[in-house]
Structure 1
Amino acid sequence: MKTKMTIKRILPVFIVTAMLAASITACGNSGNSGSNTGSKAMTSSNKAASEKFPGFKGKDFDGNDVDESLFSKNEATLVNFWFNGCSACVNEMPALEEFNKKLKEKGAELIGINAGTASDEKGFAEAKEILSKQGATYRNLILPNDHEYVRKIFSFPTTVIVDKNGNIVGDPIVGAIEDEDKQAKILKIIDEIKAGNGVTSSVTSEQSAASDNPTAPLYEEENKIFAENQDTWNKLFSKIKKDQVETNVEKPYAEFLKEQLEASKADFTEDEIKTINEGLAKIDEIEKKIAELKKK
């Protein structure tokens, strides 16, 4: 199988999934590559009322301690999850900077959460440089790598709306929120939150629901392979250089990862090499099945 491919996630706490196509609106989505073949919408807040954003203790990018009490400062808070290697995340930052001004007029705020890639000194410096170059001055946080909600995310960027009581409102919005139509719908949702009459508006995600995508179960199989030996795979992903993440490669996904292993083999134990090779053999078979489905 020959396809154009980029690696969607190079993170110390997340599962890597295959990504097709050079131009996308979401990084790391399970089986969609940013196409709009279906939709998952953020709908009512009835469900959200019983789901709190999990508590946390972390730091903002200025080194200040933060926790879930920050939600009480605003009528609503948009929490935008991103990581250093996600081009869709980075590209929407200037639009988010402007959108944050509109949010503040309504007593709301946008905050970014860097998922994993700013967890060490080098990654943090890179994250700060990205924000600076994109002119993004809105508040950004770093949460612990094992935070309960962060670990649930399979696509980037993902944005969730949290009310002042810490309740998650509706479903996550998967994909960029830089276009005016989505922003207008989000502002309407914030008005509904402030009115206290329940949320009836919705925002359509870029990612199709799993039931609409026959390849989704196969990508989930890949996710499980990575999840079973997270530390070993994370070690491999950390070896992949940024330019390799951003460049399309005319190689199958498993072959690309195999090359990364060969290039840094001296840094791995025999058991780690065995684990990766066994996983890559399974991934290669899964990718062949995905290719067949995509032909239909």
Structure 2
Amino acid sequence: MKKLASLLLVSMLALSVFTGCSQTNSMDLDKNKDDDTTLGAQDTIQPVASKTAAVGDFKAQDLKGNQVTKDIFSNYDLTLVNLFTTWCSPCIQEIPELNDVYKEMADKKVNVIGIVLDVNENGKIDKDKMDKLNQIIDSTKAQYTVLLPDEVLRSGPLKGVNAVPETFFVDKNGNIVGKTYSGSHTKSEWIDIIQDELANLNK
């Protein structure tokens, strides 16, 4: 019995390496670049009350230097917002899955955007991290929009994030809706989650 329990524990720890990376402070992300610590099971969910009710009037920047506001949500019933860093391997492994979600759900009025937390964490773009981010986008062939957050986002919906990847949903009016999801997921898992979130949105 003890051997079985030990085997299960080892299996769970091995799986957790691929679900997420922990961080102690959203303003000190780089210290954890080699830390692929467990977040728990892939279906770990936190109540949306842990976030603000709306994303706010932010002015973020996309990877081409264009300004992006909350208008990015207005043409979609639901937008999946995925938070990640350049040093988190489960985050990077999840990007192709999210890209497939983006392509499959676009005609269903569902969008996907990414927010990278460690490239401009002090209000200034770190060139080395930006280069790494561009390499990640090229290698994963991500087609969805990736944003560098401004202070409005950092002090609002991104405040208190202590592990990545973390994902939440936003409606067309810029309101955070549904549940917050910790850890990485496959395309099929995200499709199921989105269907549930859409059903709850329309109730």
Same fold at TM > 0.5: yes
Matched, 1:28 2:22: yes
| TM-aligned CA deviation for residue 87 of structure 1 | 0.4
Pair 1:115–1:38, CA change in 2 (3 A): closer
**Worse-superposed segment, 117-126 or 63-72:** 117-126
One-letter amino acid of the counterpart of residue 169, structure 2: I
Higher relative contact order (CA 8 A, sep 6+): 2
Distance 1:68 1:37 in 2: 29
One-letter amino acid of the counterpart of residue 38, structure 2: S
> Which 5+ residue runs of structure 2 have no aligned equivalent?
1-12, 25-36
1:122 maps to 128
Pair 1:37–1:23, CA change in 2 (3 A): closer
Distance 2:139 2:166 in 1: 21
Is the partner of 1:150 in helix, strand or coil?
coil
Contact 2:80 2:112 in 1 (8 A): yes
Pair 1:109–1:34, CA change in 2 (3 A): same
Contact 1:116 1:145 in 2 (8 A): no
Identity percentage of aligned residues: 26
Instruction: Give the structure with higher Rg (CA).
Output: 1
| TM-aligned CA deviation for residue 129 of structure 1 | 0.6
RMSD, aligned α-carbons: 2.7
Pair 1:104–1:179, CA change in 2 (3 A): closer
Contact 2:81 2:113 in 1 (8 A): yes
1:233 maps to none
Is the partner of 2:184 in helix, strand or coil?
coil
Runs of 4+ in structure 1 over 4 Å off: none
Contact 1:76 1:108 in 2 (8 A): yes
Distance 1:37 1:94 in 2: 17
Q: Deviations over 1:172-227 (max 9, x none)?
A: 1111122513421212322442xx32xxxxxxxxxxxxxxxxxxxxxxxxxxxxxx
Is the partner of 1:53 in helix, strand or coil?
coil
1:64 maps to 66
One-letter amino acid of the counterpart of residue 53, structure 1: V
Contact 1:79 1:162 in 2 (8 A): yes
One-letter amino acid of the counterpart of residue 97, structure 1: N
Matched, 1:97 2:99: yes
> Which 5+ residue runs of structure 1 have no aligned equivalent?
1-19, 198-296
